[in-house]
Structure 1
Amino acid sequence: WSPDEAAIEETFMNTNAASALKLGHARAAALLAPAKAGLPVAEYAARLVKKSVVGTGAADKDQVAFMIARILPGSAGASADAADALAVAVAHAHARTRGRLAA
């Protein structure tokens, strides 16, 4: 794979300090890998990702997984985490397309 860019979901503050620290470490790794490859990284709020895929920012994980399976038929049966990652990719594609159309 040789991607041209990357996208990641913004995190929200967690009340559990240990979980927040672990999430911070994972997030740093997720941001570092594309940065070291010279790729631009876009960030999207969870509500924007859900709205882009489902049509509402208040969608739950099952709704996101359902729509991802419809938008990307080859992903049917993907885990909830994989569906979330694909949703970020779809939201990024939508944002990039809107940007190109506006230009």
Structure 2
Amino acid sequence: MRILGVDPGLRRTGFGVIEVRGSKLTYVASGTIVVPTDVTLPLRLKVILDNLREVVEQHQPDVSAMEIVFMNTNPASTLLLGQARGAALCALADRGLAVHEYTALQIKKSVVGAGRAAKEQVQMMVQRLLNLDGIPAPDSADALACAICHAHISPISEKIAELNYAARSSRGRTKVRAGRMLG
């Protein structure tokens, strides 16, 4: 499975692609889309949209992962980040990719083992987990961390879904009436 992680931002949008075979994670590519700040907001969002479309075309991921945005102390910043995130979501949806969303806490816990880890810790663990020669840039590291998080969590989520399906299926074959099971 090939996973594209995206760390959206209105100034810098990170992306990272990994491949998963069993429990082995392999680095494929990463980078940062630098968005010009001297153009209008719609043009900035188009830069994110177009560049992520290109990343998807070039690396052909099977799924994507992105951090869920929460309201921070500055509502205007949160709104702008949400718009950058929307452009990224549109690029991924336009290319037919499923998008899996994770909280910052889930991502850090999955990669570092601690939900309150510092950015530097995330960068170092991404380097170690993917056996990289150097520490990745912050935006790329965050995107790779999203992809790693999905690689770690998706098998568990799939197993839970299978168990829930099996439980629902077995209930469907058995009728319960007045507290008694009927075959």
What displacement does 1:100 show?
4.4
Q: Could you tell me the percent identity over the aligned residues?
A: 50
How many residues matched?
Answer: 103
Q: Any gaps of 5 or more consecutive residues in structure 1? A: none
Alignment deviations for residues 62-97 of structure 1 (CA, whole Å, 9 cap, x no partner)? 111111110012262211111111100000011122
Counterpart in the other structure of 1:49: 107
Structure holding more strand per residue: 2
Residue equivalent to 1:99: 157
How far apart are the structure 1 equivalents of 2:120 and 2:73?
24
Equivalent positions of 1:35-46 (< 5 A) are 35-46=93-104
TM-score, structure 1 as length reference: 0.89
**CA–CA separation in structure 2 for the residues paired with 1:75 and 1:42:** 28
Other-structure match for 2:81? 23
- Offset, 1:24: 1.3
Letter in 2 for 1:17: P
Greater CA drift, 45-54 or 21-30:
21-30
Computing the radius of gyration from Cα coordinates, the structure with the larger value is 2
Over aligned residues, Cα RMSD in angstroms? 1.6
Distance 1:75 1:57, change over 3 A: farther
Q: Which moved more, 1:44-53 or 1:33-42?
A: 33-42
- SS of the residue aligned with 2:72? coil
1:10 equivalent in structure 2:
68
1:61 equivalenced with 2:116 (yes/no):
no
Q: Which runs of 5+ in 2 are unaligned?
A: 1-58, 163-183
Larger deviation, residues 29-38 vs 44-53: 29-38
Question: Which of 122, 129, 145 matches 1:71?
Answer: 129
Spell out structure 1 runs of 4+ moving beyond 4 A. 100-103
Deviation at 1:3, TM superposition (A): 1.0
Q: Which residue of 1 aligns with 2:33?
A: none
> Contact 1:54/1:64 (CA < 8 Å) preserved in 2?
yes
For 1:37 and 1:15, the matched residues in 2 are separated by 33
